[in-house]
Structures are given as structure tokens and as C-alpha cells.
Chains A and B, each alone.
Chain A
Amino acid sequence: MSAPVVIAIALACLAAGLIAGVWLPPHGRRPARDRPRPVRRILLPFTGQAISRRAFDAAVRLAKAEDATIMPAFLARVPRNLPLEAPLPAACAVGMPLLDAIEQGANSQGVEVDARVARGRTYRDALRHLVEQEQFDRIIISATDSPRHGLTSADLEWLLERVPAEVMILRPAPDDNRLMSADGWQARA
């Protein structure tokens, strides 16, 4: 191959590189069409090993209708004898598999998920931290949960008074015994 041909190929490659450099996204940045855009968010807080299936179904249904993102939020209580910032591996061992299950369930129905975790001295305290730090348009909670599984009626009252978003509290219903857990769907014992 003669020298002029080699030089021409080299120049062509250089030009292609320059064009590609302009066209390709810069390091670490996603292309414009992949970048996150402002979305509606539906907060789905939970406290135990399982959440109400009705609450999950409602969140998915609304998210699909509104092209919204579900924000499942695992609320953890920090015992008084621990600092508020202490790691909570035992609590996380319960909450993380359920976050995975919610994410998988929602994704399989074409709904995006952006999970959160929050901790406080009480579930309400954790929820308050979450509300202060996050933006969401709607919150869905099942009123049928026992204190073991969810927020108390006093917590729900507090939510209605203080949270600057639409609060959807699901009425008790016969199928409230259907829960979503890390192992899939199950009936409440």
C-alpha cells in the first residue's frame, strides 16, 4: 500500500473519529433519549415481610395509566439503643428481598420502579424523613394491615394531614389476606 493511500485512510479514520466524538455521548452520560425525564411517582411504603396485594395492584394499575414510576419504600425502625444512622442488617434481610419482589413484579408489567429505604425511631418517623427528602405525587397504603404489617390508623391520620400529595388509603376488603412477599403471592396466616 502506497504512502498517500495510507495517509488518506488515516485522515478518513480521523474524520470519522471526530464525527463520532461529536455524535457519541460524552463519558458516563447516557444518550439524551435515555436520560431520565420528570415522571409521576407513586409512593408505596411497606414495613414488614409482605405488602397487601391490593396495594401493589393499585400502584401498578395507576402507574401504567399515568406512565408513572412506582417508588416502593421500605420503612425500618431503629431501636432506641442504636444511633439513627446505624446499619440494620437484620431489618434489611427482611426488606431487601421484598423490594426485589416488588421491582420484579412491577417490571414484568412494564412499570418502572425507583426504590427507597428510610429509617426512624418509629415507622412514622421513617415516613417523615422520606416525605421530607423525596418528591412523589401519590401515596398508596392499605388500611387493612395489622400493626405488624403496616402503619397504624394514627399514622394514616398523620399522613392525611401532613403529606403534600394525594393519599390513597385502600378500604378493607375480602382479599386483604393476599400478600406479596419475597417468595411471591401468599395468603396471610
Chain B
Amino acid sequence: MIGLLETHGRTDTAKLAEGLPLLPRRRVDYRGAVLEEMDLPGILARAPELCLIDELAHTNAPGVEHAKRYEDVEDVLDAGIDVLSTMNVQHLESLNDQIAELSGIRVRETIPDGVLGRADEIVMVDLTPEALLERLRAGKVYPAERIDAALNNFFRIENLSALREVALRQVAEEIGARRLTSAEPTDSRDETIAAEAPQAVSERLLALVEPYPGAQRLVRRAWRSAQRLGAELDLLWVPPPARRLSEEEQRSLAALRQLASMLGARLLVEESDDVAGAIADVARRQRTTYILMGRSRPARGLARLRTPLPMRLMELLPRVDVRVVADRAQRPTDEP
């Protein structure tokens, strides 16, 4: 049954729905105007096995059961009715800031990520930017009078390419998260199989930092690597418990926080006397695939007998790559 279909006046779309049972919209009076909304009570009363509800991010007219359509969908799901719905990637709440920076346009109607997380299956409808622009110019997206404005604003090729990339990444992340959740072992044999399976397809980087100026160089290197890999970046500092920071260190830590915030990375501080153990715990928790660290200071005295930190990390985290970042600050410059 079609609970709600938004054709936006597209005849091709309307034709595709012909022959399927369609629930009429209900009329809602709002400040003297009559608005049309999905008939939630009608869907619940008919109790179909599967219901198509278009435009998941839609904001309802005041006066109906819920402010947002995704809340209507939750009622439908709770009634035991499967729902097939649609949304654009720019409506996902966690991507709102990123989309606004990429496109310069702030999307007001958003959906909490948890709603997407409840979906049994996500299908991405992918189209190259060029093909989408062709459809737009052919009048298959907007009526003729809106085409020029759309081409000059949101439907620019760089916007569409960026949105496509965001959508592909988002779907890949969702699939990865589901695969990891479904791989929870149920008995000892499953545990063995799960341990042998690759843990994650996507990369996640962990850069080990300390509050001193040189750490920023490592963070910038780690961020560039994360950008190239399309990976998330975490920064970790492991101070001993109750460590008192000097004024200089406090400033460096604040600068690291500011840098992390601007880069979109997370700065984690885990107090522990066991540096390698704490790093391993965080790496497991964050599902880290790469650890980046600067060169350690030369060990002195009995410390020379200790296993170096990279070796200890490789022992503790056999599935994680450990990379010691060279100090390229001393590289000769290209003076003219």
C-alpha cells in the first residue's frame, strides 16, 4: 500500500505508482489554509503488511499527531507494519554541518541518525552528477521555471559530486557497522571464525600525542592520512594519573584541542601508568586500524632494556598497523 507518495508533479513517477493501492491524504486546517498530510490513522486502521511512505524528513503541518514524518513512521513500525521510505543524504542530522560547509546551504529538515540505524536495509540510489543534471535540464526534476535557479544554486556539479561522495561513505559506514554487529560470536566456534574475519573495511586512525609543540605536526600528518583514506581520526594522550601540567603544557594541550576541533578529530585523554595497555584499550574500543606516533625520545639507563612502544603495540594489537612518523621538519626547503 502507498501511504504517501510525493511525485513533485513528475508524470513518470506517478505512472510507476499506477495500479498500487494509494491511501488518500487527509486535509489539515492551519491558520485558514488547507494543507494535505499523510493519513497516519488511516494507515494504522488498514494495517497493511508493507507501506510506502515517501519523504522521511518531511515536517508535518501543526495539528497532526507528530511534528515530523519519521515520528509517524515509528508509530507505523510499532504497529508491526513494514515501511519502505526515502530520504536525501543531506537530511541526516550528523551530516548537517558537513553538508552546509560543502554546499553553503543549511538544510533545515533533519532526521536523527538513530532512525536510519533502525532500518533493516539501506539501498542507495546512485546517479552520476552529470546524469542528474541531464535529468534536471530535461525537466524531470523541477518544472521549467525552477530549472535555472536550481542549476545556479544547489545543483552545481561540485555540490552533487560532494553529496554523492558523502552518500557513498555513509552507506558504506552503515553496512560496516551492521557487519560488525552481526558478527558477534554466539559460541566458541563462532568466536574463532569471528576472530579470523577482518574487523573493519573502513580505516580509523589513532594518533598518539603529548602536549608539546611538535605534536601538532604529527596531528597534521595524521589528518592528511585520514583525509586520503576517508577515515576518522582520534588523538590520544596517555598521561600518568594525577599528572600536573606546567603552564606551557596546558597551552599546548589547549592548542591541540583547538586543532582537533577544527580538523574534526577527537582528542582523548586516558590517564594510566601503562601507556601501551591504555593505547591498546582505546584502539580496541575505537576500532582503530592505524596507529601513528612520533619518534620516541632516546631511552636512557635501564629504560633501554624495555621493549620499545611500537613493538609493544604490535604485540598487543596484531591487527593494527603501527606507523612511526618521520620528523620532516628538518627536510631542506626549496629556496629560490
Contacts and interface: CB of A to CB of B under 8 A. Distances in A.
Contact of B240 (A28, A85, A91, A184): A28
B303 A87 contact: no
B329 A103 contact: yes
Contact of B332 (A82, A96, A108, A185): A108
Interface in B221-255: 223-224, 227, 238-240, 243, 246, 248-249, 251-252, 254-255
B307 interface: no
A27 B242 CA distance: 12
B301 A79 contact: no
A113 B252 CA distance: 12
Given A24-B303, A112-B213, A85 B261 contact: yes
A90 B101 contact: yes
Interface string A60-92: 000000000100000010010111011111111
B301 A20 contact: yes
Nearest to B249: A36
Interface string B301-336: 111000000000000000000000000111111111
Given A24-B301, A113-B213, A88 B101 contact: yes
B104 interface: yes
A87 B102 contact: no
B106 A96 contact: no
A28 B243 contact: yes
A24 B336 CA distance: 46
A166 interface: no
A121 interface: no
A115 interface: yes
A135 B301 CA distance: 37
Interface in B252-308: 252, 254-255, 258-259, 261-264, 273, 275, 297, 300-303
A92 B223 contact: yes
B101 A115 contact: no
B202 to A, nearest CB: 17
Contact of A76 (B262, B302, B335): B262
Nearest to A115: B216
Contact of B263 (A92, A100, A133): A92
B100 interface: yes
Nearest to A16: B302
A184 B303 contact: no
Interface string A112-154: 1111111100000000000001110000000000000000000
Contacts, number: 118
B240 A87 contact: no
B101 A104 contact: no
B263 to A, nearest CB: 6
Interface residues of A, number: 50
Contacts of A33: none
A104 B328 contact: yes
A159 interface: no
B97 interface: yes
Nearest to A80: B106
A48 interface: no
B220 A99 contact: yes
A188 interface: no
Interface string A25-38: 01110100011101
Contacts of B246: 35-36
Contacts of B301: 20, 23-24
A93 interface: yes
Contacts of B300: 24
B255 to A, nearest CB: 6
A79 B258 contact: no
A33 B329 CA distance: 22
A87 B334 contact: no
25 contacts: A24-B300, A28-B239, A30-B212, A35-B246, A79-B101, A81-B105, A81-B106, A82-B100, A82-B106, A86-B97, A87-B97, A87-B261, A87-B263, A90-B101, A96-B223, A96-B224, A100-B217, A100-B328, A104-B328, A108-B331, A113-B213, A114-B213, A115-B216, A116-B255, A117-B255
9 cross-chain pairs, A with B, having the tightest CB-CB distances, nearest first: A87-B264, A184-B334, A114-B213, A81-B106, A107-B329, A36-B248, A20-B301, A86-B97, A20-B302
Given A30-B297, A87-B98, 6 more contacts: A30-B212, A87-B263, A96-B220, A100-B217, A103-B329, A114-B216
